[in-house]
Amino acid sequence: MILFITQFFYENHVLFHYFFYNFNLPKNENMKKLILVRHAKSDWPEETEDFDRPLADKGLKDAMNMSRFMKSNNISIDHFVSSPAVRALNTCKIFNQTYQLKVATEDKLYNPSERNFESVIYDLDDSVGSVALFSHNNGISNFANSISEDIFHFPTCGVAGFEIDCNSWSEFDGAKKKLLFFYEPGKI
């Protein structure tokens, strides 16, 4: 029975997160929202540097599907910040076809450490209530796991959303953080 319940929850975690995110969580306007997005599936053509790797056809499709899924499920985002690497920036641009936001690039999100993410977060303007950071593994998985009790590994185009209990991004480190959702392209 326990195995059945565990498997049912795992296979339907998107549904559970959607339900709790949209219906059961109290809406606190003073909370910040942090959304982490790993770049979509990339290709690696011969003689192409890591920084210049393009998205594969699957990556293009996954990014479009994920951005539409998030928008249709009322995941609000105010601002995008992306690694300047081609595969991350193109993932961000595809999301922006759906969201139509201001996009910034940040070198610290390419081959990032956990501290790189924190540095980018501390530099955010407090008028930004919800931000999506587009980056790479292993850094994005390590950072997500450092701020959450939920241990997970980001697949390509995986997305995790967190509620940060703070009024200012400068309070991020000491603020309580809660995982709101974790979406994988193959499970939406």
* Maximum alpha-carbon separation in the chain: 52
Cα separation of 178 and 180, whole Å?
A: 6
Active-site annotation holds for 106: no
Give the other-Cβ count within 10 Å of 35's Cβ. 22
- Contact in structure between 13 and 182 (CB atoms under 8 Å): yes
Measured between alpha carbons, how far is 109 from 64 in angstroms, rounded to an integer? 21
- The response to whether 115 counts as a known ligand-binding position is no
Choice among 11, 29, 47, 114 that is catalytic:
114
Q: Which of 54, 62, 25, 60 is nearest to 183 (CA)?
A: 62
Positive or negative, the Cα torsion across 132, 135, 137, 138? negative
114 is catalytic: yes
Closest-CA residue to 80 (of 71, 72, 143, 151) = 71
Catalytic residue among 11, 13, 29, 39, which?
39
Q: How far apart are CA 34 and CA 171, in angstroms?
A: 13
Instruction: Extract the annotated binding site.
Output: 87
Instruction: Extract the annotated binding site for substrate.
Output: 87
Which residues are catalytically annotated?
39, 114
